[in-house]
Structure 1
Amino acid sequence: MKRLLILIGLDKEFASAMERFIREGEYCERLNIRSFTHCEHAGTFVNDNRGESPVILHGETIADEEVIRWFGEGHNGLVYRLSETPECTDLPAGNRIYRYQPFRTMLRDLLLRAAEQTGVPGPGRAGFRSGRTSILTVYSAFGGSGKSVLALNMATQLAAQGRKVLYVSLEAVSSSALLMKDGPPDSLSRLLYAWRKSPDRTADYADLLQCRHPAYGFDYLAPLPNIREADELQAEDVSGLVGRIADSGICDVLLLDLDSAVQPRTLGALRASDIVLWLVTQDAHALYKTRKVLEAMKSMLSMESCANKSLFVVNKYTGGDLGLAKEYDVAVFETLPYIPAWKTVSDPADWLGEPVFAAQVGHMLRRFSEGAEAL
């Protein structure tokens, strides 16, 4: 359900710019917006539309008490003042919104506060955890499925939506390193060391070691520098570190990109995940491996919940019936298109610049956010 955002007593230029941003951008599916000059007009509108649950943002010249008087004691909206200064001593921090910040950041903050107050889903909605970092994992039971390409596209789009995303590859050899050339080259390795030495300071070290991608907007830790170090990781190492990062709240989404080999580090990541996006293809070989790995996980006491949090995605989809997947007990959540141009890629940036693939990833994320069922 969309939230209703009501603006009261804000200058015309600001109100018009926000209306345009909402109606033409990614928030068009989350918010309806109405702007009023006076409280009495807004109050009349809300009283005539009691099915709505409004969030109210008003100017500094209007007192909170005046807004509540016009809206009535029984209204279930949330009232916030648009503050011209970051600090406003006469108003609790939870009831003010700083004006001079990007609309994307401001709206995300409003929706999160509304979710905390009323339980109505905020930006994360049904597919993401409210009030805690969501651990989202991309996995496949076979190599060459396109895990990293999907994970990087998801990280880019989630960051563009205003979420703080931390991308971490746990592959022994990660092709994502081709796109991640800034920051410490051994940042994940150093974070693991710091976590083992001082678990309580994990978030501090992660803040220092993570790097913001200059073009795509998500944060990342550089992949492990050598295969030996990756293979020595135990399940408890990964689940412990992931849990610490999630509990710290330094990011909205922790996005894990896993190896297809069933290694201890892979099992630890899967166990710690909230949702697993499991890639398959329209191929008997791939579907057979998927079923066998899933059966093995169901038989392991510590991994039996993995099936319940897995969403199966057919990658390199060329059209046609999905009956083969059903034969292997794979309930397909979404499909992603086959991109012929990716047979040979000389510039890894091409993975994030393909409009057809990016559009379908965006569609998948919307369905996921809305808690949609399998196809």
Structure 2
Amino acid sequence: MAKRVILAVPQREYAAKLAEFLRGEEPNWDIAVYTHGSALRREIQDNRDADLLIGVPELLRESIMPGDKTGKVIALVEEKGDDTQEEWQEVAQFQPLPAILSSIRKAMSMGTAPSIRSGGHVLTVFSASGGTGKTTVALNAIRQAGERGLRTFYFNLEALNATSLLFGRGEPDSLSRLLYAMQAHSDQLEPALEQLCRHQPQLRTDFLDAPEHPGERLAMSTEALAELLGHLRRSGRYDLIVVDPDSGAGDWHRELMLLSDSIVWLTLDDAQSLLKNEKLLRYWHRHNENWLDKCIFVWNKAYGDGLVNRWPLPGGKPTARLPYIPQWKTVDQPGKYMSAPVFSGAIERLLQEIGFGSAVEAPKSESASRRTREEGNGGQRSYVRGTG
């Protein structure tokens, strides 16, 4: 899969030599070169998503504005430590080309260069019926996002939560303690989050331990949900927050749809599952239809060449198809959920549909995602841009 790379260097000869070397060493990099800040600024304003932006500090400052969406940013500096922009990782500009590439690769593998965007992206994996594989899809999405360098948070909000089978037992009242800190001592929410979050290295994600009793999640109000998600989004800790709720039709679930940036809505090729999802969509449609534009409707546990039942959901057919993996019925270790290449490939395509590319980047805007679906996949490009 091509990785889109932007090289922003005002010295034409240097830019051409570096671009030629990178293309030879990294044939899957789709490299665009800019030598003027005005041209680079137009590129960023047009929402042409990039996985990696490499440039000298003066062009980066001239072209990138607060809130712009781009991938990792690496500054080419004369001497490391000269630049004061904390969000940029630095690579010495004047060194042998192989050393520059080695430094770029090292910077790409580090998690301290966040994408330039305000707030984490909230992705909810939802279904109106149980047994559709929400947790499996959520965990696979988390894993692949982590492999792309995204900082992730897995937020399981099921009333009956069995993720302790995967993550082990930790602090079963983590959620209630976090909600208490938020409501009683709002200034203590960040320290409480720091204390209560755990990290799962295989999935490369932070998470909260599963509540021991369903009452802890059932006690969460829509106001508390909005406040907690808002804090996670604004904290700067995470690029992607994946929410895994139980199925339901209440105000709490509908509020979650409104709070989400993207929704992966799962169903099975099962008459009852399809009917339940159709009824819930029809019911919620009367209240608010704006969030439907955020939805991607997915056929999970797919088998055979096509649907057996009529597809009653928006679009006339599923936007994506995730295969059935029968071996997962007895899985009790998180690593085994990631062991099916065919499922991983389908999740990768699903993340692309949402707007996440092959490296750290912000999701595409709604209009950009729609253009991608309409235009299809383009070929790899490798060229030097005009400079005016």
Q: After superposition, what is the alpha-carbon deviation per residue over 1:222-254, rounded to whole angstroms, capped at 9, x for unaligned?
A: 122211222222222212211222122221111
Match of 1:80, as an amino acid?
Answer: A
* Counterpart contact for 2:75–2:90, Cα < 8 Å: no
1:2 aligned counterpart, secondary structure: strand
Cα distance in 2, alignment partners of residues 177 and 199 from structure 1: 28
1:169 aligns with one of 128, 152, 156 = 156
Matched, 1:298 2:289: no
Q: After superposition, what is the alpha-carbon deviation per residue over 1:192-245, rounded to whole angstroms, capped at 9, x for unaligned?
A: 111112335433432332222122211111122211222222222212211222
Cα distance in 2, alignment partners of residues 183 and 32 from structure 1: 46
The 10-residue stretch of structure 1 (216-225 or 357-366) with the greater mean CA deviation from structure 2: 216-225
1:204-219 paired onto structure 2 within 5 Å: 204-219=191-206
Q: Counterpart in 1 of 2:75? A: 80
The 10-residue stretch of structure 1 (328-337 or 283-292) with the greater mean CA deviation from structure 2: 328-337
1:103 aligns with one of 107, 110, 125 = 107
Q: Counterpart in 2 of 1:334? A: 320
Q: After superposition, what is the alpha-carbon deviation per residue over 1:83-127, rounded to whole angstroms, capped at 9, x for unaligned?
A: 764x43xx34269633479432569948x45xxxxxxxxxxxxxx
Cα distance in 2, alignment partners of residues 106 and 83 from structure 1: 21
* Counterpart contact for 2:123–2:260, Cα < 8 Å: yes
2:353 aligns with one of 357, 361, 367 = 367
Q: Counterpart in 2 of 1:38? A: none
The 10-residue stretch of structure 1 (314-323 or 248-257) with the greater mean CA deviation from structure 2: 314-323
Q: CA deviation at 1:327?
A: 3.6
* Counterpart contact for 2:301–2:322, Cα < 8 Å: yes
Q: Counterpart in 1 of 2:330? A: 344
* Counterpart contact for 2:165–2:333, Cα < 8 Å: no
* Counterpart contact for 1:82–1:97, Cα < 8 Å: no
Q: Counterpart in 1 of 2:292? A: 307
Cα distance in 1, alignment partners of residues 321 and 194 from structure 2: 35
* Counterpart contact for 1:138–1:276, Cα < 8 Å: yes
* Counterpart contact for 1:281–1:317, Cα < 8 Å: yes
Cα distance in 1, alignment partners of residues 291 and 35 from structure 2: 49
1:283 aligns with one of 256, 270, 273 = 270
Cα distance in 1, alignment partners of residues 31 and 166 from structure 2: 37
Q: Counterpart in 1 of 2:224? A: 237
Cα distance in 2, alignment partners of residues 192 and 160 from structure 1: 30
2:177 aligns with one of 187, 190, 193 = 190
Q: Counterpart in 1 of 2:98? A: none
Give the structure-2-normalised TM-score: 0.69
* Counterpart contact for 2:111–2:149, Cα < 8 Å: no
Distance 1:165 1:348, change over 3 A: closer
Of all paired residues, the percent bearing the same amino acid is 26
Task: Select the structure that is richer in helix.
Answer: 1
1:4 aligns with one of 3, 6, 12 = 6
Cα distance in 1, alignment partners of residues 289 and 205 from structure 2: 31
Q: CA deviation at 1:140?
A: 0.5
* Counterpart contact for 1:236–1:268, Cα < 8 Å: no
Cα distance in 2, alignment partners of residues 181 and 347 from structure 1: 10
Q: How big is the alpha-carbon RMSD for the aligned residues of Structure 1 and Structure 2?
A: 4.1
Match of 2:248, as an amino acid?
Answer: A
Q: Counterpart in 1 of 2:236? A: 249
Distance 1:196 1:344, change over 3 A: same
Q: After superposition, what is the alpha-carbon deviation per residue over 1:146-171, rounded to whole angstroms, capped at 9, x for unaligned?
A: 00000000011101111111111000
Q: CA deviation at 1:283?
A: 1.5
Match of 1:333, as an amino acid?
Answer: T
1:229 aligned counterpart, secondary structure: helix
1:278 aligned counterpart, secondary structure: strand
Distance 1:95 1:261, change over 3 A: closer
Match of 1:155, as an amino acid?
Answer: I
* Counterpart contact for 1:3–1:52, Cα < 8 Å: no
Give the structure-1-normalised TM-score: 0.71
2:124 aligns with one of 137, 140, 148 = 137
The 10-residue stretch of structure 1 (355-364 or 178-187) with the greater mean CA deviation from structure 2: 178-187
Q: Counterpart in 2 of 1:124? A: none
1:367 aligned counterpart, secondary structure: helix
Match of 1:177, as an amino acid?
Answer: S
* Counterpart contact for 2:175–2:216, Cα < 8 Å: no
Matched, 1:154 2:141: yes
Cα distance in 2, alignment partners of residues 6 and 294 from structure 1: 46
* Counterpart contact for 2:140–2:338, Cα < 8 Å: yes
* Counterpart contact for 1:82–1:96, Cα < 8 Å: no
Unaligned runs of 5+ in 1: 35-41, 69-77, 114-129
Cα distance in 1, alignment partners of residues 238 and 74 from structure 2: 27
Q: After superposition, what is the alpha-carbon deviation per residue over 1:1-40, rounded to whole angstroms, capped at 9, x for unaligned?
A: 9343268879x9xx979985x656xxx4xx5278xxxxxx
* Counterpart contact for 1:291–1:330, Cα < 8 Å: no
Q: Counterpart in 2 of 1:271? A: 258
